[in-house]
Amino acid sequence: MIAGRDTLPGDNVLATVHRVWPRRTAIGGLVASAGGLLLFGPRPSDDVPAGRVILDYWEKWTGAEGEAMRLLVDEFNRTQDTIYVRYLAINSIDQKAMIAIAGGSPPDVIGLWNFNVPSYAEAGALLPLDDLAASAGLSRERYADAVWPLLTHEGRQWSMISTCGSLALYLNLDVLESAGIDPASTPRTLDDLDEMNERIIERSSDGKLERMGFLHTEPGWWSWIWGYHFGGSLLDSTGAPTADAPKNVAAYEWVRSYPERFGSRELLAFQSGLGFYGTAQYPFLTGKVASVVQGPWMANLINAFAPSLRYRAVPIPVDVGELDAAAPVGLIDGDVLVIPKGAKHPEASFEFITWLQERARLERLAAAHGKNTPLRETSTGFVENHSNGSIAVHNALASSPRAFVFPRTSVWPRYVSEFDAAFQGLWLGEQTPRAMLSGIQQTMVREIAKERGGRRRREQSAS
Amino acid sequence: MTTRRPGTVINLLWVTPWLVGLVLFFLLPMGMSFYYSLTDYSMLEVPLWIAFDNYAALFGDSVFWLAVRNTLIYAAISIPLAAIVSLGIAGLLDTDHPVSHVVRVLVFAPTVVPLVAAAMIWLWLFNSDHGLINAGLSWVGVNGPNWLQERGWAMAALIVMSLWSVGQAVVIYLAALQDVPSALVDAASIDGLGPVRRFVSVVLPTIAPAVVFNTIIQTITAWQVFATPYIMTEGGPDRSTYFYSHYLYDQAFLFQNMGYASALGWVQLLLITACIAVPYVMVRKFGGGP
Amino acid sequence: MSRRSRVPRWTSLARVSVLIAIAVTFAMPLVWMLATSAQTEDLAMSPGLALLPDPPTSLPGQAHDNYKSVLTDETVNFPLFFRNTLIVVLLGVSGAMISSTIAAYGLARVRIPGRRLILLLTIATMLIPFPVLMAPLFMLYAKIDWIGTFLPLYAQFWFGNAFSIFLMHQFFRALPPELEEAARLDGCSTWRTFTHIALPLSKTALAVVGLLHFTYMWNDFLAPLVFIVDRDMFTVALGLQLYQSRAGQTPWTLLMAASVLTILPVFLVFVLANQLFTRGSISGGVKG
């Protein structure tokens, strides 16, 4: 009762020829090519010049964005001879950085998400940059008003900026025109937006939605911003959550009006037919959704796939009671550079970061990413040569007194996670805005209390 | 059959390297992770001892219970499905016909295809407008749901997707089926036993060790499901496909609660052990288990 | 010895149609990958399934462009990643096979005190989620200065691999004991019995263990992500990541071409190993 084999006496010779030799040649070929690759294949380039301080810079960008930074890093390495920056760019860099910090061998510079700063700072994992920044002349006045809060937490500065982007409403002017709307008009209030939507909506002969003017879930990357456009906020000045404040409830009542009016099922069906971001089928490009909430990088997509599209970016509309044309409301998102505590050459790290903070270089990076400038002042030509025709709008948003950033609490990732999940429930018609927001509020009150309790416990045990 | 010589020390040499590896690469890190589970630890600063607070907090954590429930449902359906499908496909492919060889490669292929590619094809398949599945359903007059965006249907879609990965189990079954002596199978059929009785009385006892192996692995895989839902549904809609490993990952790296995540990891270990112990006890009768 | 005519009942309609259904279902990701890797971006991203480009004759040309682009990309050095992965995987698989087979035989056939416990412990290690192990493992490797080398990716397998040990253990248990007992009675040591009797009978099992571990290591992305700190040491799994941009544009056709190149070696290994677990093909076995 062993490995079975069905054979005919005498079938072995032929079988050997037919079975064994092709297999042997295949194995031989495989071994040969593997050997060839191992022996003669490409080697890692060992071009780290001797005698320099070596810095490890980990960044989260891949693709074209990662490349833009790599060019700058290469230039830095070329144009001076005391420091060499080793650039490592991969997704999930925050995960990797956390493990490296925990393991006691952090890199020298990390490109973090802006929402990482509070938790990293509170944990004491970052080097405070106040003194270094002051002596390098990188003061608050250099930066756009809305950018500065991204760099600081609880009164100290923990990071410098690499890129930032403000959110605006992109309008597909071709679609607007075809619906009889003056392409020069600007929806300023959410009522304007609703009205624009009504005029643009098209349905197929069997009642299915074919085209919409606006849809919260397209792209739906920022489910939590709507309260701000009603004058509300998610965190008060003491750091306590305010998710269920009346203005937020009003905001999500407005959000819910869409699935209520058009039907959750119908909207889901419409959504599932829409293409992905980063492709030519993105609904804004194909005209299926006439306006989207996006950052300035949107222009890169338009230029790549629909260069003849006429578009314009305007500040995202606000509730009618909040209208103030001089102070548009918009989220400022940003990527920051930090020096982890335990970095071996903090001065060299900061020298590299300072080099990047040069206006020309930040603008070059911003232009390559398709983003607006994080600085207060703009060089001549930045706006004119920018790939985004509406970049001036994005720049203005970054300087607006009502620009806002993510709620600066170390439990922000949890807050977003709760919001995203609850928003889906709201969109499916499964809960009311009030219930959704008070659910989030309860969870976040608990989480923030836990966080604070933990921090207190640490301070006590340290003393 | 075992050696007659007791010679314990020499016998231990067989497993000494593995024991060293076990300790170094598993027991040590596991010990550290158990320690972390008793601390408040974000990875960004030193751990702070809090004893069993994390475990106590688990009980009151509604998201934890939600994750357990989702994973339990997923496991309860996908494990038996995978077991039956993998064994069935292996049985069908247990011949030396060129077509069989081609289909074997195809069945194994999805386990190798990078998830990013597989995700695209599934998104297309499950698309409610022009996806193949709903197109097929509409031919028989059924209005297909919006698979990935509706509660319940998203879970169903993920379970269907899990069947794509049976290739590994199929390969193991094919190897095990090789040892089934065709003479005995033929004798059984001559004796008048139908295909099912032949399978149960002749084939199954021979491949019992492989069945034990695959069932255990499929159980572990189901309980640890992470990558596919992470990409396809991101745990949605409204956390209806939020599985245990996803919550663990979020706690560790997103919410920066590695201590709590470690506690979650240990509880998961207990849950999976319980899940394996039941069939193990049942399969003991076949004598193929450890 | 009469030949049993193993006419596979291919004429059976049910069997054929089930096989076709299986073939089509499982082939879909593969076919889509291959098709997309030879298309232009426009065609690849258009809704619906477009397998052939508009003038089908442009397929070879576009495929050549895409693959050439991947192989000669200055920033994503795929041939280098290939080489790195080859080194790591060959070292890892050979180590795993040697160490796991020995340990498995010990647990299956040698009277070791506490072997049942050891086996249970072995299985238990597979129950620990990797994110929980990642940080302590990284700290361990950092302490012994292995970060920055390939060692964290393959060294542990030279001690053993739980999956492989468990699998080989099951295969060894299934071997009929008579041959080994006969060898022992003839005076063979346990080791000789292992090398001269058990191993030759286990070619199939070894092929399976080797194949599965090769596949696992080749596509593993988490371990390289955590332990590799130098872009020049990336594996292909990490290299694929480089094509995916979050807010930018992912060049899907290039990503698919890179994916096809990535899985090619695994396919080759499978096709070769497949010979060994086919009923009726020449494989290690002795009619007893």
Instruction: Give me the CATH number covering residue B96.
Output: 1.10.3720.10
B101 touching chain A per CB within 8 A = no
Chain C nearest-CA distance from B152, in A, is 23
pTM of the predicted model as reported, rounded to 2 decimal places: 0.90
Interface touch B48/A414, C-beta < 8 Å:
no
Q: Inform me whether the C-beta atom of residue C144 falls under 8 Å from chain A C-beta atoms.
A: no
Residue B180 banded pLDDT, cuts 50, 70, 90? confident
Contacts of residue B93, defined as CB under 8 A and 6 or more positions apart, other chains included, come to B100, B103, B104, B107, B170, B174
Q: Which helix (H) or strand (E) holds C165?
A: helix C162-174
Query: In this structure, what is the dihedral angle of CA atoms A162, C224, C258, C208, given to the nearest 10 degrees?
Result: -160
Higher pLDDT, B214 or A45: B214
Say how far apart CA A298 and CA B274 lie, in whole Å. Answer: 50
- Give pLDDT, residue A124: 92
Contact C46 A280 (CB under 8 A): yes
Report pLDDT for B278. 74
**Predicted local distance difference test score (pLDDT) of residue C285:** 36
Which residue among C238, C247, C287 places its CB closest to the CB of A90? C238
Q: pLDDT tens across A8-32, in order? A: 444 455 445 555 666 677 777 778 8
Asked if residue B280 belongs to a domain, the reply is: yes
Residue B116 at interface with chain A, using a CB cutoff of 8 Å: no
Residues of chain B with C-beta less than 8 angstroms from the C-beta of C166: 213, 216
Strands A209-214 and A156-157: unpaired
**More confident: B211 or A33:** B211
Measured in angstroms, the CA of B245 and the nearest CA of chain A are apart by 15
The alpha-carbon gap from A72 to the nearest alpha carbon of chain C, in Å, equals: 14
Query: A39 at the B interface (CB within 8 A)?
Result: no
pLDDT of residue B4: 52
CB contact under 8 A, B220 and C181: no
For B21, the closest chain C residue by CA position comes to C159
CB A223 within 8 A of CB A199: no
Report residue A143's pLDDT band, with 50, 70 and 90 as the boundaries: very high
Contacts of B129 in chain A (CB under 8 A): 269, 272-273
Q: Is A205 exposed, middle or buried (0-12, 13-18, 19+ CB in 10 A)?
A: exposed
**What is the rounded CA–CA span in Å between residue B217 and residue B225?**
12
Model confidence over A175-226: pLDDT tens digits?
A: 999 999 999 999 999 999 999 999 999 999 888 899 999 999 988 899 999 9
Q: Greatest CA separation found in chain C?
A: 72
Element spanning A421, H or E: helix A412-427
| pLDDT 10s digits, A100-140 | 999 888 999 999 999 999 999 999 999 999 999 999 989 89
Q: Which residues of B touch A417 (CB under 8 A)?
A: 250, 254-255
Domains of chain A: 53-165+333-404 (3.40.190.10), 168-331+408-451 (3.40.190.10)
Task: Give the closest of B40, B179, B255 to A413, CB-based.
Answer: B255
Interface contact C86-A43, CB threshold 8 A: no
Q: In the B/C pair of chains, how many CB contacts fall below 8 A? A: 279
Sequence-distant (≥ 6) Cβ neighbours of residue B192 within 8 angstroms: none
Count: domains in chain B:
1
pLDDT in the model for residue B186? 81
pLDDT at C246 over 60: no
CB contacts, 8 Å: C115 with chain B:
15
Percent of chain A scored above 70 by pLDDT?
95
Domain-wise residue ranges, chain C: 78-237
Evaluate if residue C170 carries a pLDDT over 80: yes
Looking at residue B50, its pLDDT comes to 92
Q: Is A428 in CB contact (< 8 Å) with chain C?
A: no
Residue C238 has pLDDT above 70, yes or no: yes
Kindly state whether A158 is in contact with chain B, defined as any CB-CB distance less than 8 angstroms. Answer: no
**Cross-chain CB nearest to C109 (options B1, B132, B168):** B1
pLDDT in tens, B64-77: 999 999 999 999 99
Domain annotation covers residue B110: yes
Whether C248 sits inside 8 A of A6 (CB atoms) is no
Chain B CB contacts of A101 under 8 Å are 43-44
| Contact with chain C for residue A56, Cβ under 8 A | yes
Q: Do A269 and B146 touch (CB under 8 A)?
A: yes
B43 in A contact zone (CB under 8 Å): yes
Q: Which of A98, A414, A422 sits opposite B253 (nearest CB)?
A: A98
**Residue C282, pLDDT score:** 40
Set of chain A residues whose Cβ sits within 8 Å of the Cβ of B183: 4
What chain C residue is nearest to A29 in terms of C-alpha separation?
Answer: C268
Model pLDDT, residue C288: 29
pLDDT > 80? residue C78: yes
**Count of helix runs (H) and strand runs (E) in chain C:** 15, 0
Which chain A residues are Cβ-neighbours of C1 within 8 angstroms? 7, 9
Average pLDDT for residues C54-79, to the nearest whole number? 81
Q: How far apart are CA A99 and CA A102, in angstroms?
A: 5
pLDDT at A366: 94
C133 and B26: CB-CB below 8 Å? yes
Query: Between C69 and B251, whose confidence is greater?
Result: B251
φ/ψ of A213, rounded to 5, equals: -85, -35
| Res B5: pLDDT | 55
Residue of B nearest to A453 (CA): B40
- Whole-number pLDDT of residue B83: 93
- C-beta atoms of B92 and C15 within 8 A: yes
> Does residue A219 have a cis bond before it (omega within 30 degrees)?
yes
Q: Which residues of A touch B50 (CB under 8 A)?
A: 457
Q: Tell me, what's the pLDDT at C85? A: 94
**Residue of chain C whose alpha carbon sits nearest to that of A17:** C282
Question: B25 and C156: CB-CB below 8 Å?
Answer: yes
What is the dotted CATH code of the domain comprising C78-237?
Answer: 1.10.3720.10
Inter-chain Cβ pairs, chain A and chain B, closer than 8 A: 96
User: Does residue B161 belong to any structural domain of this protein?
Assistant: yes
Average pLDDT value for residue range A47-71: 88
**Exposed, middle or buried: residue C88 (CB in 10 Å: 0-12, 13-18, 19+)?**
buried
At residue A41, does pLDDT exceed 90? Answer: no
Is the Cβ of B33 closer than 8 Å to some Cβ of chain A?
no
Chain A 301-360, residues with CB within 8 Å of chain C CB atoms: 301, 304
Q: How far is B48 from chain A (nearest CA, A)?
A: 7
Q: Which of C122, C143, C170, C178 is most worth mutating to test chain B (most B CB atoms within 10 A of its CB)? A: C170
Over residues A320-337, the mean pLDDT reads 92
CA atoms within 13 A on the CB side of A297: 19
* Whole-number Å distance between alpha carbons of A463 and A124: 15
The answer to whether B175 touches C219, Cβ cutoff 8 Å, is: no
Would B21 be classed as within a structural domain? Answer: no
Average pLDDT taken over every residue of chain A: 89
- Do residue C29 and residue B258 have CB atoms under 8 angstroms apart? no
Asked if residues A109 and A71 have their Cβ atoms less than 8 Å apart, the reply is no
Assess if residue B30 is contained within a domain. no
Contacts of C204 in chain B (CB under 8 A): 175, 178
Measured CA to CA in angstroms, residue A185 lies from A180, A196, A318, A329, A397 at distances of: 11, 10, 16, 18, 19
| Whole-number percent of chain B with pLDDT over 90 | 56
Among B42, B238, B253, the residue with its CB nearest the CB of A425 is B238
In chain A, residues with a C-beta closer than 8 Å to the C-beta of B235 are 421
Using one digit for the tens of pLDDT, what is the confidence trace for A244-288?
999 999 999 999 999 999 999 889 889 888 888 888 889 999 999
ipTM of the complex: 0.88
Among A15-19, A52-56, A369-373, B236-240, whose mean pLDDT is lowest?
A15-19
Q: Which domain holds residue B225?
A: 49-286
Nearest residue of A to residue B40, measured between CA atoms: A454
A26 touches chain B (CB under 8 A): no
What is the pLDDT, as a whole number, of residue C281? 46
Q: Which residues of C touch A96 (CB under 8 A)?
A: 225-226
Contacts of B187 in chain C (CB under 8 A): none
Q: Check: CB of residue C13 under 8 Å from CB of residue C221.
A: no
Residues 6+ apart with CB under 8 A from B226: B243, B245, B246, B249
The pLDDT value given to residue A398:
92
C137 in A contact zone (CB under 8 Å): no
What percentage of chain A has pLDDT greater than the value 90?
70
Mean per-residue pLDDT of chain C: 84
